[in-house]
A and B are shown apart, each in its own frame.
Chain A
Amino acid sequence: MAGFKELIGSLEKTRAYFRDFFVYGFKTDEDFSQRSKRTYEDEKRRAELLLKDHITTTKAPDSSFKKIVSVPVDSGDILENPFYGIYFAKSFTDNDIKLHFAILDILSGYESLDTAEITDRVSERFDDLLWDNDNFVGQSTIRGKLNEYADEGLVIAEKHGSKMFYRLAPHTADELFGQFEGLDDAVKFFSETQEFGIVGNFILKAAGLKNDLFYMKHSYIIHTLEDEVLADIAEAIGKKCAVTFEISGSRKNFGGEPKTMKHTAIPFMILVSAQTGRRYLLWYDERLKRFMTSRLDQMKKVRLEKGMAENYDELAAAARRSLEKVFGVNFGSQETRNSSPVKIKIFADEQTEGFIVERIMREKRCGTVERTAENEYTITFDVFDPYELLGWLKTFIGRIISFEGGVQGAADRLQDDIRRMYEMYGGGTE
């Protein structure tokens, strides 16, 4: 493909395409019309390269020339998240890579050197390598790379007098694995968990290893595409500072083309759903004076604001307290926030269905459970948004005795859903 480049400068565009290929798996090139045909072809090609064992391209059922890209993967069958490949495709300049190996080579031979000494040795040893438009890359370029590597932690920068000295950072992954028994297995395990597993994968690759032990069931491998955004948020939370970010809503919510909103937020934590595949940032909107949640997969361009946010600790404590009344991630609306507690009665035959009682106990979250009669368990929820209970409650279809309290709309919707499902599954014909 003419002009296609495997390496990319930023993740933003690729992340959006990969997500759609994986999550939907039915979109044709026409569904990606917000960007050019060429962009679509490039990202499709990139997905085919990076996800090669997992990607399939098929013809659309209604057209012989439209193609559908999908990534049908069972997370429980794979040892390495295929989406990690995107993090190994960062573009760079020729001088970046030349300086990388030249500097590491020089520093490997010395305890510590200052910038001038490093420049001299680089120019002596690698005179042929480091030319940029007929000029040898100078001390300032080398200093820039050294400082960049000091930020990344590959080298340690130490000031002695007026001079800055540099040395290689301690430890390679190999060395650590040799010194700490069991650490390699731990990194293998954590490299496939959703809390920045990609970083564990970096460590394994640096040591020439890969996870060959652990499979992950119910794992949303696509979450790794959010890790860059997540790292910035973690940094902001560590510093207790505000962030700005952009979020693109879904078409359905905004009508027409996805609309991008910009927010200034005081971030607190990431709310993860192990069942819906969504992750949210919990944050405080100072303008509206309320807690909000925003989906990580729709978030981009996270920037840290300077300085610590005012009253950060108090707000964080209030956020944690508020979560006691949140069933999922919603803080409710004016209508629902002050509604009465919801009481749900569930039927479970105590002689034969002990597993149902166990299910209630392990899945009730902030609810409290009481045995209110023989074979009857009442769960009480005092939550900001009773509507949020409905999806979970419907997993108990066939044994919901009653739903009381909350807001009338939630009870009505539940009853209406049951009526419609009864029709759908032929109940009326019995």
Chain B
Amino acid sequence: MKLFNEIYGTYYRIAAEAIEKKRLTDKDIYRIIEEYGTDETRVGISPKLIPGKEPQKPTYWGFFRRGDDGTLESVFENAPKRQLTTLERRWLKAKLSDRRIRLFLSDETLERLGSELEDVQPLYAPDFFRCCDRFSDGDDMSDPEYIKHFRICLKAYKEKRLVYIRYLSGHGNMISMVVLPLKIEYSYKNDKFRIYCRQIGSRKKAKAFPYITVNIGRIVSAEPARNADAVMPAKDEQMVFPEQTETIVVKVTEERNSVERFMLEFASYPKKTVRDAKTRECTVSIECRCADETELLIRLLGFGPTIEILSPPEFREKAAQRVRRQYELFFGSKE
């Protein structure tokens, strides 16, 4: 059972797709290659898939016969089926023990799938992965109400329909609104689902704050909105959640292996790095969502004096204020 196996590969997939069509043209094959492959794939696979002039080159796979009309006909009788492999079945079996599976499958479906995979050994045990620094206030995904809200929001998102939600804001206020879900995001660190929405309606608030994010765990009730289709936003640009970003510039020194630690920790952020050839210090520009600024600030402070926030000045000042406060807590106003 190998994970890195050609049966999952692009070339097998392209060949299967072409064979499945039974009869096709050279152009059809090129189209399939373009869809699934890279620029180099065409060079690698087309002489093997498309018959040339007789006699065929020994590299030609012989999967097609060229007809008098120039089209290609598969030499196979049946459309190629790619059965699920043991690896895939074992992966599915492992997922049955994941508490998040109930967001997607009903108890009855879960039971049937469990019976179907009864003899399958899970790919890994539930305690195989242990996250040491995940936040402990993640969503309760076993709560039937949570599951219900998740499914209603997911359905609305998939069908681009409106949903009426009531939720408890971070400040403890109950808010109700009709929204169009634009994006569903899961954070592994927070263990929370969040939906990015466009608020719909004629009320002042909906117009003033058309885009909002809602943690599914904060939703108190959710239901499909009435006359949903009638109020769908018409323009395409209104369907995309606008993300405001800013660039934070940081100097990273080599002390305590910080370059390696920093680069890995912030690997999930888009960033541009320039290294000074002499000092080997790095100047890193991180693209950060404005909404995540505070989170980024405290993570940067976690690196201590091995990094320095350079800009923007207001962001640097926020770090400086915290450092000054800390200095006073430890040493009084000045040492």
A residues with CB within 8 A of B: 4-7, 10-11, 22-26, 45, 49-50, 52, 61-62, 70, 72-76, 87-92, 94, 96-98, 100-102, 104-105, 108-109, 125-126, 128-129, 151-155, 168-173, 176, 179-183, 185-187, 189-190, 193-196, 198-200, 202-203, 205-206, 213-222, 227-228, 231, 234-235, 237-238, 250, 252-253, 269-278, 323, 326-329, 347, 358, 361-365, 390-392, 394-401, 415, 417-422, 424-428, 430
Contact = CB atoms under 8 A, between A and B. Distances in A.
Interface string B54-78: 0000010111000000000001111
A115 B284 CA distance: 61
Contacts of B233: none
Given A179-B116, A205-B13, A398-B329, 13 more contacts: A11-B4, A25-B271, A76-B268, A129-B62, A153-B89, A181-B105, A185-B104, A189-B186, A195-B98, A215-B183, A277-B265, A397-B298, A415-B330
Contacts, number: 404
B83 A170 contact: yes
B275 interface: yes
Q: How large is the interface on B (under 10, 10 to 19, 20 to 34, 35 or more residues)?
A: 35 or more
A423 B302 CA distance: 17
Nearest to B261: A276
Q: Which 10 A-B pairs have the closest CB atoms?
A: A153-B86, A398-B322, A186-B104, A420-B305, A425-B320, A108-B78, A72-B270, A49-B38, A92-B6, A26-B273
Interface stretch (B21-29, B129-137, B216-224): B129-137
Given A185-B104, A215-B185, A365-B133, A74 B272 contact: no
A199 B3 contact: yes
Given A278-B264, A425-B320, A417 B304 contact: yes
Contact of B323 (A347, A362, A397): A397
Contact of A153 (B84, B154, B308): B84
19 contacts: A6-B40, A25-B271, A73-B270, A88-B10, A89-B10, A96-B6, A104-B80, A105-B80, A153-B83, A154-B85, A202-B8, A237-B125, A252-B260, A362-B135, A363-B136, A364-B136, A390-B304, A397-B301, A419-B335
Interface string B241-280: 0000000000000100100110111011111111101000
B263 A105 contact: no
B186 A417 contact: no
